[in-house]
């Protein structure tokens, strides 16, 4: 059964935290119940929580009674830019479940159509069956914004925490460095933390002023205890007010006594920034602020794939006038600038019509001046269709560096993630061994020779959406 990960952002002010909550219908909290949510227990009402609202939207979108599991149980008033949640659903052929062949971008749109304005699914991804958003998380980052002014904030009052006194950010940053490393943080968590172990590792904690009345703390660790970040923020605020020196933070940790640390600050300044998942053998698998390259430009370590513009024709013209490049394309002849411009216009039009195209490929440069080295992406066969093919052309100076494989892989990911394509072809000249190697490396299957396309004999390859999904899943779980 396919398993999906959702990448969520929400403004937490109007939510009673992440986790679903039901209260007695006669209690004081019942006045804050969400009438659109149905409580499971008799005599109870459901509070408005992120999990309840998103789960309801997912069930409506996929027409399946799925269970949504979230990575971080954020408290009431806490925001998120990179929350992760997962669910499983399989299409039964009769309308229940999500047809995986429809793609992930339509799934995101279907869920968002059911959501209120203070929560958004930013992207979705197919993950292995064993993926668990809580147990699989290896790293998280939270941010906390202080408003250290006696003047009340207005426009962003729900995104900052007011402390009323000027704070010394230099001392706060110095104090934050004593948090780094593996420690028992029982002094800096709520008494009812509910964990067997209070040992956590903090990898980074930075404090800096971002505006005359704004200070931002960023803290990264392998996990955080109940109220831990808010108590750390309260403790650093005490240092910022010169209540005690930075090195006193070490004494607070060693005391293992909650009463020694600062107060638990208001949650409005707290935001879950991202969550990271790492495979024990293959390294980084998923990070919630790098959501599967579903938007342009597509950034990779060495390359950028971006939307084509008219001026690209002039940069690509020398490539199309190189016989070595055009040897296996069409009749092998070079192309004048007029044909290159015509092709560029088609690429631009196709992106507007279908959401995918032959993207312009730029090679990154340390000087900040990227070089256009080719194009890569999907387009209708012979610009007519109905079949869609993967295409890539690169300047001869860029050959031999693995750029074609890197770009083609990203182009396939983008096409299958953002469109409803079921199959993509790969067509190449029977003697073009380099191109055949690229198509094989990106997961395509060879079907031998054919004369169905372009009026000539070609070797043809293909990959379906299902094959692409299975390949990606196996890569993660291998």
Nearest 5°: CA angle at 293, between 288 and 299?
105
Over residues 434-452, the mean pLDDT reads 96
Report pLDDT for 82: 92
Confidence of residue 16 (pLDDT cuts 50, 70, 90): very high
Give the 3-state DSSP-derived string for 102-134, with helices as H, strands as E and coil as C: HCHHHHHHHHHCCCCCCEEEEEEEEECCCCCCC
Report pLDDT for 477: 53
Task: Answer yes or no: do 110 and 152 share one domain.
Answer: no
| Residue 288 domain flag | no
Report pLDDT for 96: 85
Burial status of residue 296 (CB atoms within 10 A of its CB: 0-12, 13-18, 19 or more) = middle
Top-confidence residue, 277 or 297 = 277
Report pLDDT for 167: 95
Residue among 152, 162, 155 nearest 269 (CA): 162
Which CATH number belongs to the domain containing residue 175 in this structure?
3.30.70.660
Over residues 425-437, the mean pLDDT reads 96
Residue among 34, 10, 8 nearest 21 (CA): 34
- Number of domains, the chain: 3
Residue 101 has pLDDT above 70, yes or no: no
Task: Answer yes or no: do 81 and 159 share one domain.
Answer: no
Report pLDDT for 282: 45
| Residue 29 domain flag | yes
Annotation marks residue 75 as catalytic = yes
| Residue 74 domain flag | yes
Omega before 297 cis (within 30°)? yes
Confidence of residue 153 (pLDDT cuts 50, 70, 90): confident
35-39, 211-215, 426-430: which has the minimum mean pLDDT?
A: 35-39
Confidence of residue 103 (pLDDT cuts 50, 70, 90): low
Task: Specify the long-range contacts of residues 433-441, CB closer than 8 Å, at least 24 apart.
Answer: 434/399, 434/404, 435/328, 435/404, 436/461, 438/392, 438/404, 438/405, 438/408, 439/390, 439/408, 441/405, 441/409
Report pLDDT for 169: 95
| Residue 285 domain flag | no
Report pLDDT for 301: 84
Task: Answer yes or no: do 74 and 121 share one domain.
Answer: yes
Show which of 127, 151, 166 is a domain's final residue.
Answer: 127
Which CATH number belongs to the domain containing residue 98 in this structure?
3.30.70.580
| Residue 283 domain flag | no
Task: Answer yes or no: do 322 and 461 share one domain.
Answer: yes
Mean pLDDT over the full length of the chain: 89
Confidence of residue 290 (pLDDT cuts 50, 70, 90): low
Report pLDDT for 194: 73
| Residue 426 domain flag | yes
Nearest 5°: CA angle at 432, between 468 and 434?
60
Residue 312 has pLDDT above 70, yes or no: yes
Give the 3-state DSSP-derived string for 397-426, with helices as H, strands as E and coil as C: HHCCCCHHHHHHHHHHHHHHHHCCCCEEEE
| Residue 455 domain flag | yes
Report pLDDT for 18: 95
Task: Answer yes or no: do 156 and 116 share one domain.
Answer: no
Measured CA to CA, the distance from residue 119 to residue 81 in angstroms comes to: 10
Report pLDDT for 292: 45
Report pLDDT for 420: 61
Task: Answer yes or no: do 211 and 351 share one domain.
Answer: no
90-99, 218-227, 232-241: which has the minimum mean pLDDT?
A: 90-99
Show which of 81, 103, 127 is a domain's final residue.
Answer: 127
Task: Answer yes or no: do 268 and 306 share one domain.
Answer: no
Residue 64 has pLDDT above 80, yes or no: yes
Confidence of residue 430 (pLDDT cuts 50, 70, 90): very high
Specify the pTM. Answer: 0.65
Which CATH number belongs to the domain containing residue 362 in this structure?
3.40.630.30
Over residues 81-88, the mean pLDDT reads 94
Structure confidence by residue, pLDDT tens digits, 317-346: 999 999 999 999 988 999 999 999 999 988
Confidence of residue 182 (pLDDT cuts 50, 70, 90): very high
Task: Answer yes or no: do 265 and 356 share one domain.
Answer: no
Structure confidence by residue, pLDDT tens digits, 392-404: 999 999 999 999 9
Structure confidence by residue, pLDDT tens digits, 111-121: 999 999 999 99
Task: Answer yes or no: do 311 and 437 share one domain.
Answer: yes
Catalytic residue among 34, 64, 75, 148: 75
Measured CA to CA, the distance from residue 168 to residue 241 in angstroms comes to: 7
Confidence of residue 230 (pLDDT cuts 50, 70, 90): very high
Report pLDDT for 376: 96
229-238, 337-346, 397-406, 465-474: which has the minimum mean pLDDT?
A: 465-474
Q: Write the CB contacts of 259 (distance below 8 Å, at least 6 apart in sequence).
A: none
Task: Answer yes or no: do 256 and 308 share one domain.
Answer: no
| Residue 92 domain flag | yes
Task: Answer yes or no: do 311 and 448 share one domain.
Answer: yes
Show which of 245, 276, 307 is a domain's final residue.
Answer: 276
37-41, 72-76, 172-176, 247-251: which has the minimum mean pLDDT?
A: 37-41
Task: Provide the residue range defining the domain that includes 7.
Answer: 3-127
Confidence of residue 441 (pLDDT cuts 50, 70, 90): very high
Report pLDDT for 349: 80
Task: Answer yes or no: do 156 and 103 share one domain.
Answer: no
């Amino acid at each position: 059964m396919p398993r999906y990960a959702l990448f969520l952002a929400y403004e937490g002010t109007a939510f009673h935290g992440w986790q679903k909550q039901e209260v007695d219908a006669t209690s004081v909290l019942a006045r804050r119940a969400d009438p659109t949510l149905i409580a499971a227990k008799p005599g109870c009402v459901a509070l408005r929580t992120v999990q309840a609202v998103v789960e309801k939207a997912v069930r409506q979108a996929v027409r399946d009674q799925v269970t949504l599991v979230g990575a971080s149980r954020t408290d009431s008033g806490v925001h998120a830019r990179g929350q992760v949640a997962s669910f499983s659903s399989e299409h039964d052929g009769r309308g229940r479940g999500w047809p995986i062949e429809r793609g992930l971008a339509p799934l995101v749109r279907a869920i968002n159509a059911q959501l209120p304005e203070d929560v958004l699914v930013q992207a979705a991804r197919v993950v292995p069956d064993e993926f668990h958003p809580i147990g699989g998380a290896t790293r998280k980052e939270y941010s906390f914004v202080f408003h250290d002014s006696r003047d009340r904030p207005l426009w962003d009052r729900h995104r900052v925490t007011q402390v009323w006194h000027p704070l010394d950010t230099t001392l706060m940053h110095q104090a934050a460095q004593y948090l780094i490393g593996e420690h028992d943080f029982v002094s800096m968590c709520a008494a009812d933390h509910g964990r067997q172990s209070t040992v956590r590792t903090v990898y980074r904690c930075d404090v800096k002023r971002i505006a005359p009345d704004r200070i931002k703390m960023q803290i990264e660790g392998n996990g955080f205890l109940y109220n831990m970040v808010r108590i750390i923020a309260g403790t650093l605020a005490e240092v910022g007010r010169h209540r005690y020196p930075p090195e006193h933070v070490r004494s607070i940790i060693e005391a293992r006594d909650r009463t020694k640390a600062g107060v638990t600050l208001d949650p409005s300044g707290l935001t879950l920034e991202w969550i990271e998942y790492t495979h024990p053998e293959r390294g980084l698998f998923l990070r919630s602020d790098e959501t599967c390259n579903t938007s342009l430009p597509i950034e990779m370590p060495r390359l950028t794939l971006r939307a084509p513009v008219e001026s690209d024709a002039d940069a690509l013209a020398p490539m199309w006038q190189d016989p070595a490049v055009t040897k296996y394309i069409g009749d092998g002849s070079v192309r004048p600038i007029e044909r290159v411009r015509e092709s560029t216009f088609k690429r631009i039009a196709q992106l507007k019509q279908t959401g995918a195209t032959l993207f312009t490929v730029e090679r990154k440069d340390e000087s900040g001046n990227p070089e256009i080295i080719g194009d890569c992406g999907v387009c209708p066969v012979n610009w007519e269709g109905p079949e869609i093919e993967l295409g890539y052309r690169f300047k001869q100076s860029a050959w031999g560096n693995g750029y074609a494989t890197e770009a083609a892989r990203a182009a396939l990911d983008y096409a299958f993630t953002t469109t409803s394509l079921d199959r993509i072809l790969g067509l190449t000249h029977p003697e073009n061994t380099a191109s055949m190697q690229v198509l094989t490396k990106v997961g395509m299957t060879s079907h031998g020779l054919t004369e169905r396309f372009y009026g000539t004999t070609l070797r043809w390859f293909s990959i379906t959406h299902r094959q692409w999904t299975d390949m990606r899943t196996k890569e993660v779980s291998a």
